[in-house]
Structure 1
Amino acid sequence: MRWLILAAVLMLVSAWLVQWRARVAEAEAERSYPPEGQFLDVQGTRVHVLVKGTGPDLVLIHGASGNMRDFTFRMVDLLADRYRVIVFDRPGLGYTDRLGPEGSSIARQAALLKAAAAQLGAERPIVLGQSYGGAVALAWATGHPDTLCALVTVAAVSHPWPTGLPRFYKVTSHPLGQAVAVPLLTAFVPESYVQKAIEGVFAPQAEPPGYAAHIGAPLTLRRQSLRANADQRASLKKEVRDLVPHYPQIAVPTEILHGDADDTVNLTIHSVALAQAIPEAKLTVLEGTGHMPQHTDTDAVLSAIDRATTRAGLH
């Protein structure tokens, strides 16, 4: 009996230490990477947004495991001379509130960001989404077709794929994993793991100098963000499957960019099929490019935005 009591005490102390270490790591992440923009109250949800520049309204939606810093690294400044750039943290990531497991769908996220853009006076913006953010942009275009004037997708998830959910997301989206594994990750994931993940998502290219220091990866390792990201990723395949029948109804000018060396989101399964489904969509295949064209092929992405804007009659 004494051993059982001792074991229980040790388990409680260990759990407390893990949660304490996780809180310390989160506080350090937020000190190192504070909010870059302003906060809106959108239907009771706090939304973090940065607005910069003048010109046609352009909304940028980041991918999984990220935040708005993916775009503030370079893209926002390159666009702000001719667009009013509106870049959001998606729900649960960066500094936007988590919507919870029942509100984490791409449709719910699209509705929230659409409402946030409208609150800023952007009634029919150009909408760009990268990777997972591309799925949110497609949910916006199919669910709210009168509230955007053009669509740009970059290495976007658009169709169901043949593989299952990776083990990492199986664990971190499960209630037990969210209670046990997530705090351990927040508390103890080493910087070398984060760097390896960044290298993997950029492969076969290298990330630009200074990117790792700017992106704020420790923000994604906070407990709330790990849980939100896992919930979103776990339900994504079903959600894009539900979107597919609606793609032919997308009537706004659409530019699709994808690298042919992207090992994260397959070119053929996603963007080739998407270009075939959306009337008048224009597909640009970037030779030798991996999953992050907004950084490795920035000029091609900027040109696609400008083409979509021109096709929408705004330039």
Structure 2
Amino acid sequence: MRYATREEMRYDTRQSQVRARNRPRRNTTLLAAGAALAAAAYVVRQRTREVESDNPPAGKFVEVDGIRLHYVERGSGQPVVLLHGDGSMVQDFEISGLIDLAAKNYRVIAFDRPGYGYSDRPRTTIWTPQAQATLLHHALDQIGVSQPIVVGHSWGSQVAVALGLDYPDDVKSLVLISGYYYPTPRLDVPLLSPPAIPVIGDLLRYTVSPLIGRMIWPMMKKRIFAPAEVPHKFDARFPVWMTLRPSSLRASAAETALMIPAAFALRQRYHELTMPVVIMAGDGDAHVNSSVQSEQLHRELPHSTYHVTHGAGHMLHHFAPDEVMSAIDQAATALGAERRGEHRHIFPAPAQAI
């Protein structure tokens, strides 16, 4: 048996003394961190209660497949379904004026997609565009909507495309605004996806993530509207804390993580779209490159039409709602003429560009 030398014993004694001195510091640091997280959790809970009290559900609910979806319905006539983008909700279309404009001539149904606004998003499902399309298709059937014009903005465009691909006989036409259709590297994926990670993400969503989100909101808002200015009515009326609630952050983070895989899954099927498609984009979009995304999709779909708005960014429906309405009108009157022997429809070119 080997006995410790005097030097080794002295070393062990010194190490024990160092650990003893450091232990209170570590404990103090852990206590301070815990207190900070508890304070953050309290602020997030209070702000969530306040924003939900100030912004109660504005529409109706439909329960489908055990999931409750919130939607706003206005007007009458040909149905138009509006699908918002990642991190948004029905209020985005309300503030832009698009719901009121469309309701003059159409039956407008604007959904809070799963996890946003007041719609449920069970964790047992991976909410790909296809999964959301199936849920929305069942919801539309339940509320008596058939052959709608489906308008999708940003991430909502992927859901609109999935509806057109999986339920071609039940969709009249598509209007796709500022969409992301082809996989490209994106910095926002690693930056904004962590709140969707189990356990760690839960801790983040209920403590620091909403506070960080509120700090960076002015920068994000400027980016999605650039090169145009952020409209005053959006600044004044959009309830940003509704999008920073823990449930909404989980939905947004998950969709950010799914964005590239979803584009991979859909890109092989675009040629299957059989209905008229109107593609819209702003040439100044700093969030989604319109030439890489919208223009390329137009080239792939010979029966589509493509409208570029100069000086507009990602939030095209705020910058040019009348042009979006013109696209909806075009989609409503477009007639699909099936070529003999080919299972596809031809969208005749309009007399003049919209």
TM range (shorter): over 0.9
Displacement, 1:170?
A: 3.8
Higher deviation after alignment, 160-169 or 273-282: 160-169
Displacement, 1:58?
A: 0.3
- Give the unaligned 5+ runs of structure 2: 1-19, 337-354
Conserved 8 A contact 1:29-1:219? yes
1:215-234 correspondence runs (5 A): 215-234=238-257
- Give the unaligned 5+ runs of structure 1: none
2:153 to 130, 137, 142: 130
Mapped to 1, the partners of 2:72 and 2:193 lie a distance apart of 33
1:269 match: secondary structure = coil
Larger Rg: 2
1:200-211 correspondence runs (5 A): 200-211=223-234
1:265 pairs with 2:267: no
2:62 match: secondary structure = strand
Displacement, 1:177?
A: 4.4
Conserved 8 A contact 1:52-1:80? yes
Which amino acid is 1:20 matched to? Y
Q: 1:139 to 1:14 in 2, by over 3 A?
A: same
Displacement, 1:180?
A: 3.2
Displacement, 1:120?
A: 1.3
User: Structure 1, residues 247-267: CA drift from partner, whole Å, max 9, x if none?
Assistant: 111111110011111111111
Mapped to 2, the partners of 1:157 and 1:278 lie a distance apart of 15
User: Structure 1, residues 241-295: CA drift from partner, whole Å, max 9, x if none?
Assistant: 1111111111111100111111111112111111122241001111121111101
Higher deviation after alignment, 74-83 or 182-191: 182-191
1:40 match: secondary structure = strand
2:81 match: secondary structure = strand
Mapped to 2, the partners of 1:273 and 1:37 lie a distance apart of 37
1:71 pairs with 2:71: no
2:274 maps to 251
Displacement, 1:36?
A: 1.0
1:21 pairs with 2:43: yes
Mapped to 2, the partners of 1:292 and 1:150 lie a distance apart of 21
TM-score when scaled to structure 1? 0.92
Displacement, 1:213?
A: 2.5
Displacement, 1:52?
A: 0.2
2:321 maps to 298
Conserved 8 A contact 1:248-1:277? yes
1:103 pairs with 2:117: no
Aligned length: 313
Mapped to 2, the partners of 1:19 and 1:82 lie a distance apart of 46
Q: 1:94 to 1:30 in 2, by over 3 A?
A: same
Conserved 8 A contact 1:54-1:82? yes
Mapped to 2, the partners of 1:82 and 1:184 lie a distance apart of 45
1:32 pairs with 2:64: no
1:135-174 correspondence runs (5 A): 135-163=158-186, 165-174=188-197
Identity of aligned residues (%): 32
Conserved 8 A contact 1:258-1:286? yes
Which protein, 1 or 2, shows the higher relative CO under an 8 Å CA cutoff with sep ≥ 6?
Answer: 1
2:84 to 33, 49, 62: 62
Mapped to 1, the partners of 2:230 and 2:124 lie a distance apart of 32
